[in-house]
A and B are shown apart, each in its own frame.
Chain A
Amino acid sequence: MGKMTLKHIILLVLTLTHLGESAKSTLDADGGADYTTWDDLIAAIKANTINPDTILI
């Protein structure tokens, strides 16, 4: 196995960071979030338009 260069290390860190990233959706009735109504958010999940593992309200 060849020696890891700085470039390899950076690519490895970026890959691991991406794998650990969770899929978040946000909800706020006052705006400023991905969705403003709970019903729209659920409909998007049911339609498989989004596939979050976390919803922040």
Chain B
Amino acid sequence: MGLTSLYIIGQETAPNSFPIINRNSSSTNWANFHGFTNIYWERIIFTGGYSLGFTNTGKTHKFTKCVVRDFTSAFVALTFGSGSSTVEFVSTLFEGNTGASGIFDLTISGGSYLTYKITNCTFDNNTAIWSNEGNNSSMHSNWGFKNNIFSNNTTTFPGNNLRTVITYAHTSEACTNYGTRCISDTDLEYSQGTRANPTD
């Protein structure tokens, strides 16, 4: 690919009508797809049973206004060394994902240069969110998870190192070891008690 950026955009603007990408095979065409260029996803629903793999190639992978739901595996597998890639999620809903290794399967060792940001996202009713905390707490200096909602997840964090990266969050668990200005609320309410659509 000769271009420096690729924008992948859903043309529907109503969240319940976003186009759905069902990752239902381990097609090798997906493997390292994100290593070719900077990729910006917008207004897409992702579901399936096979992860998107991100490796350390110094690229930016950004998801904005997306929905990640009902994945039976991890949604993304982050395999990074000491590179300078950026992985970012903005205004994205993660709901009903049941992968035992979490939505983000982290295989991250060494280095402190991966920029990993999650902003204005909602995590509701997932089995787990992160597989682990990364192997080196110093790498968290470039990680920032701000202004997110964590509700009804079986396991929110695998340990306290990640909690310290969380700021300005609403969470249904206690805020012990969280970062600055987080609020615990055991009764976070949505417009629908049982949520089948993104707008619920």
Contacts and interface: CB of A to CB of B under 8 A. Distances in A.
Interface string A33-57: 0000011001101101001111111
Contacts of A52: 3, 6
B7 A46 contact: no
Interface stretch (B28-36, B90-98, B133-141): B28-36
A51 B44 CA distance: 21
B8 A53 contact: no
Contacts of B10: 57
Contacts of B44: 57
Nearest to B44: A57
Contacts, number: 46
B160 interface: no
B77 to A, nearest CB: 17
A55 B1 contact: no
Contacts of B2: 48, 51
A52 B36 CA distance: 12
A55 to B, nearest CB: 5
Nearest to B30: A42
Nearest to A38: B21
Tell me what chain A mostly uses at the interface: helix, strand, loop, or mixed.
mixed
Interface residues of A, number: 15
B88 to A, nearest CB: 19
Contact of A39 (B1, B9, B29): B29
Contacts of A39: 25, 27, 29-30
A54 B29 contact: no
Contact of A57 (B8, B29, B30): B8
B7 A57 contact: no
B9 A45 contact: no
Interface of B: 1-3, 5-11, 19, 21, 25, 27, 29-30, 33, 36, 44
Interface of A: 23, 38-39, 42-43, 45-46, 48, 51-57
7 contacts: A38-B21, A46-B1, A46-B29, A51-B3, A53-B5, A57-B19, A57-B21
Given A45-B36, A57-B44, 10 more contacts: A39-B30, A48-B1, A52-B3, A52-B6, A53-B3, A53-B5, A54-B7, A57-B9, A57-B11, A57-B21
